[in-house]
């Protein structure tokens, strides 16, 4: 079968769990769509765009618990956004009949009490998702390695080769011996996420569209130079932007509905990777109503006076102000479910509580059989 792997940097290491799992599954077609320093919101974005460039897979392995813990600890991710993101992942897989397997790695223990606490919160969130949507139980390090031990890591975030091999062996055994189900419907209306691609934005001034191809992420990007601006459709809270960071990346402006923020596209990660594909979280989560403007103002003083929404791994720009550019592939909006869906879900929950037999009836007649390839 076709297996899609979505995960962070542990999935991208040449000796990591993803490469070792693929080596143990020669009879299957394994596609690894890893990206480092991103969380489950990036995985949701990839799932929302399935089918744009290839046929849908027959199984998804989802590994972002470690990165979500790091983002929670750093304050760039809130629990409500994490909960809604994971619910949206499960609902998307349910709608597309995709079996979903959650792999939950954790940061190296003992680094700081707050990091350990964030890891516990992230893992609890994933486990709640597994229970609510009747998934296969989360595959954790406790199960795969017998515990979360400092000696299994090469640094704070990455497992060493032997530990990665044991994780891969455990996953291979799960796929060989167990049935990985399609998620069941949740009991409440799912949240709404929308990815707006660069091709949907209207531009003004020095802007151009470019196709960028890389080993981790390929897409049409909008390149905005100083004096250029772009208007993006979409409503809800702005939670993230998909950007490419090069030596020319710098400060830009976000604005809608009377608010304006300054943010930078430059990243410390460029010390390791000269050109970085990264999902940038918007910490303020401001609201937009079909009026989001993303621009590269030509007046430096005015731009620097705006309140700043800091960037995770953000860094000062290396390029002169006038030469700075923004390369953006899309934005993500987040909002609650529309009121009709919330009302319907509330009615359904009350009916289920008064007549439990309705739950069994709905599961019997509304759930399609598990695809044979996922058994």
Residue 51: predicted pLDDT: 80
Query: Which has more confidence, 367 or 284?
Result: 284
For residue 362, is pLDDT > 50?
no
Q: Sign of dihedral through CA atoms 107, 275, 21, 84?
A: positive
For residue 187, is pLDDT > 60?
yes
Reported as a pLDDT band with limits 50, 70 and 90, residue 21 is: very high
For residue 242, is pLDDT > 90?
yes
| Of 163, 217, 158, nearest in space to 10 by CA | 158
Q: Residue 52: exposed, middle, or buried by beta-carbon count in 10 A (0-12, 13-18, 19+)? A: exposed
Residue 188: predicted pLDDT: 79
Please report the DSSP string for 301-319 in residue order: HHHHTSPB---TTB---SS
Cα separation, 107 vs 122, in Å, equals 11
CA atoms in the 13 A half-sphere facing the CB of 143 = 14
Pairing assessment for the beta strands 229-232 and 202-204 based on DSSP bridges:
antiparallel
Reported as a pLDDT band with limits 50, 70 and 90, residue 222 is: very high
For residue 250, is pLDDT > 60?
yes
Query: Which has more confidence, 367 or 261?
Result: 261
Residues 159-186 have a mean pLDDT of 96
Cα separation, 263 vs 201, in Å, equals 19
Query: Which has more confidence, 67 or 354?
Result: 67
Cα separation, 351 vs 354, in Å, equals 5
At residue 93, the 3 state secondary structure works out as helix
Reported as a pLDDT band with limits 50, 70 and 90, residue 349 is: very low
Reported as a pLDDT band with limits 50, 70 and 90, residue 211 is: very high
At residue 37, the 3 state secondary structure works out as coil
Residues 278-300 have a mean pLDDT of 97
Q: Residue 31: CB partners within 8 Å, gap ≥ 6?
A: 2, 3, 4, 5, 54, 57
Phi/psi region, residue 76 (left: phi>0; alpha: psi -120 to 50; beta: rest), is: alpha
Is the distance from CB of 60 to CB of 101 less than 8 angstroms? yes
For residue 351, is pLDDT > 60?
no
CA atoms in the 13 A half-sphere facing the CB of 243 = 26
Is the distance from CB of 136 to CB of 101 less than 8 angstroms? yes
| Of 195, 178, 188, nearest in space to 91 by CA | 188
Residue 373: predicted pLDDT: 36
Query: Which has more confidence, 346 or 219?
Result: 219
pLDDT digits (tens, 9 = 90+) for 76-99: 999 999 999 999 999 999 999 999
% of residues, the chain, pLDDT over 90: 85
Query: Which has more confidence, 38 or 361?
Result: 38
Of all helices (H) and strands (E), which one includes residue 349? helix 339-354
Cα separation, 128 vs 124, in Å, equals 6
Q: In what order do the strands lie in the sheet with 2-7?
A: 29-32, 2-7, 59-63, 100-104, 139-140
Reported as a pLDDT band with limits 50, 70 and 90, residue 186 is: confident
Residues facing residue 256 across a β-bridge: 259
């Amino acid at each position: 079968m076709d297996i899609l792997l979505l995960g962070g940097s542990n999935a991208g290491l040449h000796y990591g769990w993803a490469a070792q799992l693929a080596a143990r599954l020669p009879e299957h077609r394994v596609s690894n769509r890893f990206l480092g320093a991103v969380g489950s919101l990036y995985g949701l974005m990839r799932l929302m765009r399935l089918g744009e460039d290839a046929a849908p897979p027959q199984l998804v392995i989802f590994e972002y618990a470690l990165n979500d813990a790091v983002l929670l600890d750093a304050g760039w991710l809130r629990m409500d956004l994490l909960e809604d993101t994971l619910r949206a992942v499960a609902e998307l897989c349910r709608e597309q009949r995709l079996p979903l397997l959650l792999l939950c790695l954790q940061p190296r223990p003992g680094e700081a009490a707050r990091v350990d606490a964030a890891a516990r919160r992230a893992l609890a969130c994933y486990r709640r998702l597994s229970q609510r949507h009747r998934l296969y139980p989360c595959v954790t390090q406790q199960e795969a390695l017998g515990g979360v031990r400092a000696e299994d890591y090469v640094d704070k975030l990455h497992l060493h080769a032997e530990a990665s091999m044991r994780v891969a062996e455990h996953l291979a055994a799960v796929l060989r011996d167990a049935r990985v189900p399609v998620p069941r419907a949740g009991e409440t209306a799912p949240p709404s996420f929308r990815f707006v691609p660069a091709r949907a934005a209207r531009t003004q001034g020095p802007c151009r569209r470019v196709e960028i191809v890389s080993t981790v992420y390929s897409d049409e990007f909008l390149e905005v130079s100083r004096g250029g601006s772009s208007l993006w459709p979409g409503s809800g809270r702005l939670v993230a932007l998909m950007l490419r960071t090069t030596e020319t990346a710098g400060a830009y402006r976000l604005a809608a509905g009377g608010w304006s923020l300054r943010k930078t596209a430059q990243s410390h990660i460029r010390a390791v990777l000269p050109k970085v594909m990264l999902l940038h979280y918007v910490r303020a989560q401001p609201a937009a109503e079909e009026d989001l403007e993303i621009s590269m103002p030509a007046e430096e003083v005015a731009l620097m006076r705006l309140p700043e929404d800091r960037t995770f791994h953000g860094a000062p720009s290396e390029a002169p102000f006038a030469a700075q550019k923004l390369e953006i592939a899309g934005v993500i909006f987040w909002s609650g479910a529309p009121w009709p869906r919330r009302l319907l879900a509330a009615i359904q929950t009350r009916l289920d509580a008064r007549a439990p037999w309705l739950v069994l009836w709905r599961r019997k007649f509304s759930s399609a059989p598990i695809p044979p390839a996922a058994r």
